[in-house]
Structure 1
Amino acid sequence: MLSEMQVRPPDNDTVSPEQLRQVMGYVPTSVAVVSAMTRRGPVGLTVGTFVSASLDPPLIGFLPARTSTTWPLIVPVGSFCVSVLGADNEQLSRQFATSGGKKFEGVPWYTSPHGSPVIEGCLASFDCAFERCYPAGDHWFVLGRVLDLDVRESGHPLVFCHGGYERLASAPAIPSGG
C-alpha cells in the first residue's frame, strides 16, 4: 500500500526561481485571507493558491511563505478561517499582505462558529481546524479540516495573474458531465 510517495528531483537544477515565477505568472490563483484569534486579538495574512485538497474528509490547503511572521502566530491557535476574497476586495488583499502592523484595523469582521475572524463581505469562508503542515521549499503546505463553511451567492473571486490582480469576465455557464 502506498502511503507517501517522494519523487527524487534530477541531480541538476535547470529551472531558476525567476523562470518559474515568470511562467507561473500565467497561471491564475485565488486570493484569500487566513485568520485566527490569538490572545492579542485577530491576526491574518493574504495567501494565494487556496485549494480544495479532499472531499472526504473535507480538507483545504494553502501555502504561506516560510518567511511569514504571521503564520507562526496562527499555528498554536489550532484553528483558523479562510476568507476567499471577492473582486471588490483588492485593498483588503494588499492590507493583509503587508508585514506586521494592525491588519484588522478598519476591517469589518465577525467571529466564525469556531472562534476565528471572518472577513465581512468575503465571497466564501472556510472555518477550519489545523490538520497538518508540510515543508514545501520556501513555503509551507498547510492542510485544514473544514468544520463549517459559507458562501455569498453572488460576486466574482479576486484573482491574481500576470503579476497583478485580474477581474474575471462573466461568461455563460458550461454544462457539466459533457
Structure 2
Amino acid sequence: MATISASMVNELRKRTGAGLMDCKGALVEANGDEEGAIAILKKKGIAKAAKKAGREASEGIIESYIHMGGKVGVMIEINCESDFVAKNDDFKAFARDVCMHIAAASPIAVSREEVDPAILEKEKEAAMGQAEGKPAAAVEKIVEGKVNKYLEQNCLLEQPFVKNTDQTVGELLTQKIQTIGENLKIRRFVRYAIGD
C-alpha cells in the first residue's frame, strides 16, 4: 500500500479540480498512481454529472467576448441551477473560457442534435463522392466515419478545448459540474466575424 502524501493530493487537485477528499480517496484506490487516480476521478465525475443532468438549470449568465482587433465577437448563454452560482467567479471564468474557445474554434452548434440536417446531408453527399468506386459496405463506413469526424470538429461539446487540448469542451463542462456542484448547461451561442 503506497503512502499518500499531502503534496500528492495537492498535485492531483491542481490537475483535476476535484475536492481534497475525492483526490485522496482516488489516490488510495489507485495505490498512489496519479494517472490511475485521474481515471477514477473522471469516472466518478461523469457519474456525478449524470445525476445532476436531470436537474433544472434556469439561472445563469450571458457572457460576451470580443477578440483583439474587434474582428470576432461571441455571445453565449450558460445556465446553472442557482443565482448564487451564476455570480460565482469560477462559473464566470468558465463562461469566458468557452467564449474564447468559440471565437477561436468556430463551432456550428453546441451538440450533434442541434446541427442543421441540411448541413449533414451536404457532408454525406461530399463523403459519398469521395468514396465513389469503393464496395457498398465500405462506402457506408467511409460516409459514417467522415460525417462523424465532421461533427467532432464542428460541435462545441466535442471539440478539443483550446486552452487544454487533452480534454473536450464537454469534458470541461462535466468537470465544472463536479467542482461547482450544480447542473450546468451551455444553452446557445452566436459568433460574429467581420465578412461572414
TM-score, scaled relative to structure 2 = 0.26
TM-score, scaled relative to structure 1 = 0.28
**Larger helix fraction of residues:** 2
Q: Which has the larger radius of gyration?
A: 2
